[in-house]
Structure formats: C-alpha cells, structure tokens
Amino acid sequence: MNDKRILYIGNNLSKKSKYKTSIAILSELLEKEGFTVTVVSNKTNKLIRLLDMIYKTILFRNKVDFVLIDTFSTLNFYYAYLISLICNFFSLKYIPILRGGDLPKRLKNSSVLSKSIFKNAYKNIAPSNYLKTAFKEENYYTEFIPNTIPLEDYNYINRTNIQPKLLWVRSFKLLYNPTLAIKVLLELKKEYPKAVLCMIGPFLDDSHQKTLELIKEYNLESSVELTGVLTKEDWHKKSKDYDIFINTTNFDNTPISVIEAMALGLTIVSTNVGGMPYLIDDKVDGLLVEKEDTLQMTNAIMDVVKGKYPTLSKRAREKAETFDWEVIKYKWFKILK
C-alpha cells in the first residue's frame, strides 16, 4: 500500500472539456494504487488558475511528500517556474513532468529559468525519449516514464479491410494544424470519392473557424464531421467506424490520443515531428510523413488502403501494450518512495 501524499499541479480541465487529459489519467491511476493525490487547478481563468496553484502549494506545504508539476513550453512554463520557486523556498520535493513538445527550444530561449526549474528538481520525468535526449544534451538529468493508459479499457479491433475513413482526435489549435486534415481529405477524394473524416476535440482558437471555412471552400460538408469534445468512452465507440488515425501536428511530444488509437487498432499516419519518431517506428507500427506535406500524407494513407502495410495495426497494438499502467506503475513507485 502506498501512503505518500502528492500535490499535482497542472491544467485540470477535464471536467469542463470532457476530454480526459494526462493529469486526470495519472492522478486517478495513482489514487487507485493508494496514493493521496490533490490536483490543482480546475479554474478556467488563467490568472485565477495560477493564483490557485500558488495558494494551494503554500497551503499544502506541510501536508505533501511530493509536488508533481505538468510542464509545458508555452505559458504553463511560467506556472512551473513560479511553483518551483515556492517548492524550493519550502524545501518541497518537486517533480516536473515534461509535457511540452517544444520544450527543447524553451531550454535554449529561457536558459536561466530552465536551470532554476530543472536543476533544483527532485527528479525530472520525460514521457518520451525525445525529451529525455533533449534534456540530456543540456545536462539536465531526466528519467523516462512514458504516458500510460489502462489497457483493459481499450478493445482492439483487427481491421482487415481498411477503407479511407479517417479519424482525427486533438484540440483545435494552430499548433496541431487541423486544416491539414481537410487538405488531405480533398486530395484523397480524387482517388476515393467516398473518403470521410471525423474530427474530435475542443475548439480552442481560430483554427476551428479556419477549418470550417476550408470545408466549405472545398465543398466537403457531407464528408466531414466535427463532433466537438467527446468523452473517452464516446470517442472510443466512434472510432469503431474508422480505420486510419491521422496526426497532423507541427509540434508534439508523446500524445495520449495516438497511444490510444494504437491500442484500439487504428492505423497511424502522423507527421514526423517532436517525439513522434520516438513513439512510431516508420513502416513498422505506423507511417511518418513530413509536417505540412499534404501529398505525402495523402500518399501514405493510400498505401495503407491499398494494403501495402498489412501489419501496422497489429504491431501498433503490441507497442501500446508497453504503455499499460500495470507495466508503467512500478517506475512511478520507484520515484515516489
């Protein structure tokens, strides 16, 4: 039985977005193992969320054994910096969990703040070997613990007759390049008129509007479905109607949605960015293409439909099994002892 007390700092917005994020998944799994976990913050307003994080860190300073900090490369980087300062002041053991796919650039552009956060941390945890390697190059000791899923929740479907039915699951953000999916569908329909695309995820910036405009411009209204946010259970159910999972992002780490798609038996076609080549072995358990390359992604999808890579899905499922919580949890036990 694990009796350690943990304060987990991050954007705990799953209840508002309905989409279960890494902070929600990991905190729930740790709680099931007996850890006492307090998650902060679920405030929607960014300033209030930051103040809540600061307040709770001070409030719980004598009540927790570890502070986990989800650390990204954009605005959340400064959240992590401020919380790390508080932890250092009160001699709290804090553990940054490196979530941001663009953190290697942040290490160079904010070297002083990075040193303050990562040199003073109890441990730095990288969910991908991509970030572990990048941090090692900057002389930050980092341990690799991949993102995890409870594999028992993921029913594998062996898709033997793959059709050009595309699934996209991500937030609508310019960073994740959702319009590329529309451009790919347009090209794909030249060869496969019945090709369809379903896009699942919250609308976070004007990339959603740009996507709608492109759908209208290309007359694809009858071939594209935008569901908005779905619960994990609902998007898993929806995925049964699709065969190929496309990941169009320009920056990435090791996205849970891709690991989930691998576990569900979808064939993965992804841009070759950030941590993706560390997650996907090209032509072994998925296909990797250059970012922003519409024709390359389209051709990769057509190769899958034509049966050129019949074992990708099976191999992807095998890799997804290595991310099962029953395998990963012992790495966390070793850290949080």
pLDDT (mean) for 67-96: 96
Report residue 161 as tokens.
Answer: 């007759």
Give the count of domains, the chain: 2
Q: Tell me what the mean pLDDT of segment 15-31 comes to.
A: 80
Token representation of residue 289: 């293409």
Residues 34 and 182 in one domain: no
Q: Residue 266 has what DSSP assignment?
A: P
Confidence of residue 97 (pLDDT cuts 50, 70, 90): very high
Query: What residues make up the domain containing 244?
Result: 151-322
Q: Please state, rounded to an integer, the average pLDDT across all residues of the chain.
A: 94
> Do 165 and 308 share a structural domain?
yes
Q: How confident is the model at residue 253 (pLDDT cuts 50, 70, 90)?
A: confident
Which CATH number fits the domain that encloses residue 74? 3.40.50
- Give mean pLDDT, residues 182-192: 98
- Residue of 295, 297, 275 whose CA lies nearest to 287: 297
Binned at pLDDT 50, 70 and 90, residue 19 comes out as low
For residues 197 and 308, membership in a common domain is answered with yes
Predicted pLDDT at 56: 97
CB environment 218-227: b (16+ within 10 A), e (fewer): eebeebbebe
> Residue 227 is inside which H or E element, if any?
strand 224-228
Closest by alpha carbon to 151, among 280, 21, 265, 235? 265
| pLDDT confidence of residue 15 | 61
Q: Which two tokens stand for residue 233?
A: 């259970």
The two most distant CA atoms of the chain are separated, in Å, by 63
DSSP label at 110? T
Residues 6+ apart with CB under 8 A from 47: none
Q: Which two tokens stand for residue 17?
A: 């977005």
The residue-averaged pLDDT of 89-106 equals 94
Using a pLDDT cut of 90, give the percent of the chain over it.
87
CB 106 within 8 A of CB 114: yes
pLDDT for residue 16 is more than 60: no
Domain boundary among the residues 145, 172, 205 is at 145
Does 123 lie in the same domain as 185? no
Q: DSSP characters for 168-222? A: EES-B-GGG-HHHHHHHHHHHHHH-TT-EEEEES-B-STHHHHHHHHHHHTT-TT
CA distance 26 to 37: 10
252 dihedral zone (left: phi>0; alpha: psi -120 to 50; beta)? beta
Quick one: tokens of 13? 């917005």
How far is 198 from 181, CA to CA, in rounded Å? Answer: 10
Q: How confident is the model at residue 18 (pLDDT cuts 50, 70, 90)?
A: low
Give the mean model confidence (pLDDT) for residues 113-126.
97
Q: Which of 129, 145, 161 is the last residue of a domain?
A: 145
User: What global pTM score does this model have?
Assistant: 0.88
pLDDT 10s digits, 204-217: 899 999 999 999 99
Q: Can you tell me the distance from the alpha carbon of 165 to that of 304, in angstroms, rounded to the nearest whole number?
A: 11
pLDDT tens, residue by residue, 123-165: 999 999 999 999 999 999 999 999 999 999 999 999 989 999 9
Does the pLDDT of residue 17 top 60, yes or no?
Answer: no
> Are residue 20 and residue 131 in the same domain, yes or no?
yes
Q: Do 141 and 208 belong together in one domain?
A: no
287 φ/ψ angles, rounded to the nearest 5 degrees: -120, 135
> Residue 30: which H helix or E strand, with range?
helix 22-32
1-11 mean pLDDT: 90
Confidence label for 174 from pLDDT (cuts 50, 70 and 90): very high
DSSP H or E stretch at residue 66? strand 66-71
